[in-house]
C-alpha cells in the first residue's frame, strides 16, 4: 500500500531502471526529483559497437542493400531504400516512374506491419489496463485479430516485391530484381479491397483509445513532396521554416555525445526535434488522399496537433493510407519491360532520406569509381528522437504531478517512451523499477 509519505510531491524521488535490454543495445532510465521539481532525467543508452557503417567499407554497391537490411529487423526496407537512393544519386540516376510506384508499395508494407504491430501489441495494453496483448486478447479478441490481420497484409506487400517479409532480398540499385506478375498483383488487390473497412475500423478503434493528453512544444521534421504524401522523395522541412535538400542535412543536423549515454544525440541548429507519424501528419496532412482526410475529419482528428499521444492516431491513419494508396497504385499496375534502370558506377558522394515507420532516416555514402564504399553514415530516427524524448519525459512528469506514487510515475514513463515506438525492447514493456528514497 502506498503511504502518505510516498505521495508527498516534495519528497525526493529516484527512479532507476538499471538495465533495459534493447534490440540495438542496452539502456536505462534514471529519474530524480526534489522539492516538487524534476532535478535530472536521463534516458541512458549503452550501444555496443555494431559497426555496420564500417562493415560496408570496401563492399561493392550491390552488396549494400543486403547488409543494410540487417541494421534493423523491424524496418529493413528503410535501411535498404535509403542506402539505395543515396548510391543512385552518386551514379546520377533518375528514378523510373514504375520503380517509384513500386517503392511506395514495399514501403507501405513496412509501415503497415510496423504500425499495426505497435498499436495492437505495444500501445493499446497501456491504455486499456492490461499488462500485455495476450491478457488484452481475452477481453478484446476481435480488436487484436484485426490488428494482426493488417500486420499480415503488410507482410504480404513486403513479400510481393521483397521476396520475403524479413530482411527482403528483392531490392537493388536501380529498382527490383523481379517484377510481380499480374496474377500476384490481382491477388493482393483482392486482399486490399477486403481490408479497406478493416483498416477504417482500426483507425476508429485506435483513435478512441483512452489516452491522456500530453501537450508538448516541439519542432516537427519530415520529408515533404509537392505531389504526394512523402516517403522516399522530397525535401526536409519543419514547422519552423526549415526547407532543405537532403545533401544539406550535415550542415544543419549535428550529432553529439552526452556523459550519460554512448548513443549519439542529434540536434537541428542546436535544438531537439521530433520525427514520426505525428510529425508527418503535422506537416503533410493536406497531401493525404481525400479518402484518408475524410476519415480523419469524421473521427474528429485534427492536425497539426501538439498532443504527443496523437502519435497513435497518426500511426493508425498511415495504416489506412497504406491500404488506400496501395490500392490506387496496384489497380493501375502494368508489367514493365525491365524492373530496374541501367546505370554505370562512378565515384562520388550521395545523400538521401526516407521516412521509416518511426520517422526520417538519413544516409550518406561515398563511393569510388568502381562503386565500392569508401565511407557510410546511417542515422536512424530513434537516435534522432532521443533528446526530444528526454524533454518529453521531463515535462510530462511535472505536468502529471510528482504527488503520484512511484508506480504511477513509472507507468507514465513507459507510456511516453512507447509512444515514440523506438526500436528498443522498452517499446514493449520496461523491466522492474527500483526506487531509492532518502
Q: What is the three-state SS of 344-394? A: CCCCEEEEEEEEECCEEEEEEEEECCCCEEEEEEEECHHHHCHHHHHHHHH
Average pLDDT of the residues in 18-32: 54
Question: Is the pLDDT confidence value at 15 over 60?
Answer: no
Range 363-377 average pLDDT = 97
> Nearest Cα to 373, choosing from 361, 364, 386?
364
- The answer to whether 151 and 113 have CB atoms below 8 angstroms apart is yes
44-95 confidence digits (pLDDT tens): 766 666 678 888 999 999 999 999 988 877 789 999 999 999 999 999 999 9
* Phi-psi category of residue 359: left, alpha or beta, with phi > 0 → left and psi -120 to 50 → alpha: left
The CA dihedral of 127, 128, 131, 137, to the nearest 10 degrees, is -130
**Does residue 423 have a pLDDT over 90?**
no
How far is 42 from 37, CA to CA, in rounded Å?
Answer: 15
* pLDDT recorded at residue 203: 98
CATH class held by domain 52-384:
mainly alpha
Q: Looking at the predicted structure, is the pLDDT value of residue 242 above 80?
A: yes
- Given a cut of 90, whether residue 30 has pLDDT beyond it is no
pLDDT surpasses 90 at 425: no
Q: Which of 313, 300, 306, 253 has the alpha carbon at shortest distance from 282?
A: 306
- Residue 21, pLDDT score: 31
CA distances 396 to 155, 363, 413, Å, are: 35, 32, 8
Outline which parts of the chain fall under CATH 1.10.645.10: 52-384
Pairing relationship of beta strands 373-379 and 434-436 according to DSSP bridges:
unpaired
- Over residues 336-356, the mean pLDDT reads 97
Amino acid at each position: 500500500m502506498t503511504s502518505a509519505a510516498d505521495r508527498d510531491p516534495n519528497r525526493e524521488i529516484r527512479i532507476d531502471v538499471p538495465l533495459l535490454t534493447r534490440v540495438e543495445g542496452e539502456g536505462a532510465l534514471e529519474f530524480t526529483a526534489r522539492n516538487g521539481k524534476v532535478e535530472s532525467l536521463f534516458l541512458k543508452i549503452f550501444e555496443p559497437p555494431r559497426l555496420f557503417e564500417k562493415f560496408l567499407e570496401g563492399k561493392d554497391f550491390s552488396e549494400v542493400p543486403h547488409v543494410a537490411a540487417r541494421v534493423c529487423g523491424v524496418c529493413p526496407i528503410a535501411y535498404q531504400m535509403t542506402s539505395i537512393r543515396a548510391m543512385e544519386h552518386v551514379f546520377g540516376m533518375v528514378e523510373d516512374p514504375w520503380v517509384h510506384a513500386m517503392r511506395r508499395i514495399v514501403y507501405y508494407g513496412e509501415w503497415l506491419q510496423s504500425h499495426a504491430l505497435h498499436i495492437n501489441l505495444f500501445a493499446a495494453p497501456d491504455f486499456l489496463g492490461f499488462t500485455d496483448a495476450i491478457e488484452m486478447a481475452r477481453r478484446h479478441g476481435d480488436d487484436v485479430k484485426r490488428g494482426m490481420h493488417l500486420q499480415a497484409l503488410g507482410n504480404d506487400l513486403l513479400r510481393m516485391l521483397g521476396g520475403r517479409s524479413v530482411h527482403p532480398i528483392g531490392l537493388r540499385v536501380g529498382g527490383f530484381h523481379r517484377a510481380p506478375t499480374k496474377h500476384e498483383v490481382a491477388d493482393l488487390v483482392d486482399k486490399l479491397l477486403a481490408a479497406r473497412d478493416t483498416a477504417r475500423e482500426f483507425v476508429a478503434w485506435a483513435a478512441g483509445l483512452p489516452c491522456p493528453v500530453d501537450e508538448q512544444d516541439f519542432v516537427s521534421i519530415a520529408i515533404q513532396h509537392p505531389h504526394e504524401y512523402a516517403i522516399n522523395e522530397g525535401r526536409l522541412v519543419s514547422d519552423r521554416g526549415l526547407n532543405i535538400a537532403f545533401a544539406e542535412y550535415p550542415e544543419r543536423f549535428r550529432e553529439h555525445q552526452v556523459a550519460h549515454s554512448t548513443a549519439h544525440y542529434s540536434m537541428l541548429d542546436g535544438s531537439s526535434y521530433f520525427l514520426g507519424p505525428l510529425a508527418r501528419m503535422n506537416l503533410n496532412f493536406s497531401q493525404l488522399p481525400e479518402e484518408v482526410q475524410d476519415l480523419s475529419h469524421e473521427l474528429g482528428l485534427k492536425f497539426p496537433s501538439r498532443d504527443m499521444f496523437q502519435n497513435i492516431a497518426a500511426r493508425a491513419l498511415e495504416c489506412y493510407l497504406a491500404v488506400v494508396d496501395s490500392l490506387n497504385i496496384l489497380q493501375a499496375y502494368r508489367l514493365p519491360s525491365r524492373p530496374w534502370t541501367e546505370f554505370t558506377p562512378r565515384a562520388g558522394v550521395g545523400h538521401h532520406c526516407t521516412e521509416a515507420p518511426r520517422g526520417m532516416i538519413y544516409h550518406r555514402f561515398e563511393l569510388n569509381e568502381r562503386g565500392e564504399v569508401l565511407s557510410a553514415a546511417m542515422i536512424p530516427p530513434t537516435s534522432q528522437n532521443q533528446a526530444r524524448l528526454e524533454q518529453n519525459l521531463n515535462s510530462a512528469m511535472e505536468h502529471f504531478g510528482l504527488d503520484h506514487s512511484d508506480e504511477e510515475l513509472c507507468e507514465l514513463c513507459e507510456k511516453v517512451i512507447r509512444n515514440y515506438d523506438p526500436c528498443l525492447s522498452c517499446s514493449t514493456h520496461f523491466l522492474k523499477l527500483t526506487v531509492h528514497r532518502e
